[in-house]
Amino acid sequence: MATLTPTSAPLSQALARKRGNPLPAVLLALGLIVAVTFAVLGYLESQKTETLVVLARDVPYGRQITAEDISLIQLPLHRPAQLTGISDPAAVVGRYAARDLGANDLVQAPMLLAEPPTQPVYPNGQALSPNMVPVPFSTATIGPLSYRDRVNIGFNDRSGAPDLCDRARRIAEGAGPSLLPAAGGNAQPRPYACRLLSSVRVLYVDESSGVAYLELTPYQAHTIWALQAAGLELWGERYGATSTPLSTLDRLDIGQVSVEQLDAPIAANPAATMTLPGATSPVPGSRQP
């Protein structure tokens, strides 16, 4: 019977190392190269800048912007959206300031007007409506106020002369002149308060001086000045922009106070249906439609 003798490999072949697979090393090297490349590209991209226009000095509202009013700065190309600006000086020079602009302000499109303004604009951006006038009004009786609020305006008559409010209201309602007698038949006139206007728009509040600028028709403004000339005490109320307008020329003295009206919910109080004085006549003395 034949015997199989195992053949042994040469010693040099047994001692030789098996050659490793080079693919992982190649992939790792490629990965490092790609990462470094993207890092360099990202750094270079982050260093890119854009030329933008800023104001070199203050420019008041409505003034035309000149080349001396602006300068150029470099800002990163990738920056917050709030820092979006205008890069072309030609798009700025010759335009008009839409509000008071300050030095070093980044010029943006809403800050510019193509034409000179035709209506006054206040620092908060609120514009006076055509045919309306601003009236300064103390906020002492109103308290904290913003231009998003509305204001009710009234006055106090300590002399008690009812014709200042009562007669005017009855004439406005078409009922003819009439004086409201005091309660209990007492002919002695009593001091009273009269709510003159309701839901007046606030244009701007100067907190440093405690003055609010209200938007009124010329006739309404004339009425306010007339009340001040008569030495009557004016007062105001902060009111919501969506609240129901209250009755105009609404007179009340302490003898007329009604418990039912005092305790009634606001929905039970009749809302004003009369237009504000002068609302249909923006120019004093013009014909009524």
pLDDT tens profile 25-74: 777 777 788 777 777 767 666 667 788 889 999 988 888 999 999 898 88
Task: Give the range with max mean pLDDT: 120-129, 141-150, 161-170.
Answer: 141-150
pLDDT at 204 exceeding the cut of 50: yes
Is the pTM higher than 0.85? The answer reads no
Query: What residue segments make up the domains of the chain, in order of their start?
Result: 49-113, 133-268
**pLDDT at residue 279 in the model:** 47
**pLDDT at residue 223 in the model:** 92
**pLDDT at residue 234 in the model:** 95
Contact call for residues 246 and 167 (beta carbons, < 8 A): no
- Could you tell me where the beta strands, DSSP code E, fall in 93-210? 96-97, 112-113, 133-138, 150-157, 192-206
pLDDT tens profile 163-176: 667 666 665 566 55
Average pLDDT over residues 160-187: 58
For residue 119, which amino acid is it? Q
**How many CB atoms neighbour CB 61 within 10 A?**
17
Helices and strands counted in the chain (H then E): 5, 10
What mean pLDDT, rounded, does the chain reach?
78
48 Cβ contact partners less than 8 Å away, ≥ 6 residues apart: 76, 77, 78
**pLDDT at residue 269 in the model:** 47
User: What span, in angstroms and rounded, lies between the C-alpha atoms of 66 and 201?
Assistant: 35
Lowest mean pLDDT among 77-86, 187-196, 236-245, 275-284: 275-284
Q: Please classify residue 71 by burial: count the beta carbons closer than 10 Å to its beta carbon, then call 0-12 exposed, 13-18 middle and 19+ buried.
A: middle
- Could you tell me where the beta strands, DSSP code E, fall in the chain? 49-55, 70-76, 96-97, 112-113, 133-138, 150-157, 192-206, 211-216, 233-239, 250-253
User: Closest by alpha carbon to 52, among 106, 120, 100?
Assistant: 106
Between 242 and 288, the more confident residue is 242
User: 49-113 in CATH: which number?
Assistant: 3.90.1210.10
**pLDDT at residue 62 in the model:** 83
Rg for the chain, CA atoms, rounded: 39
**How many CB atoms neighbour CB 127 within 10 A?**
15
Average pLDDT over residues 105-131: 86
Between 229 and 267, the more confident residue is 229
pLDDT at 286 exceeding the cut of 50: no
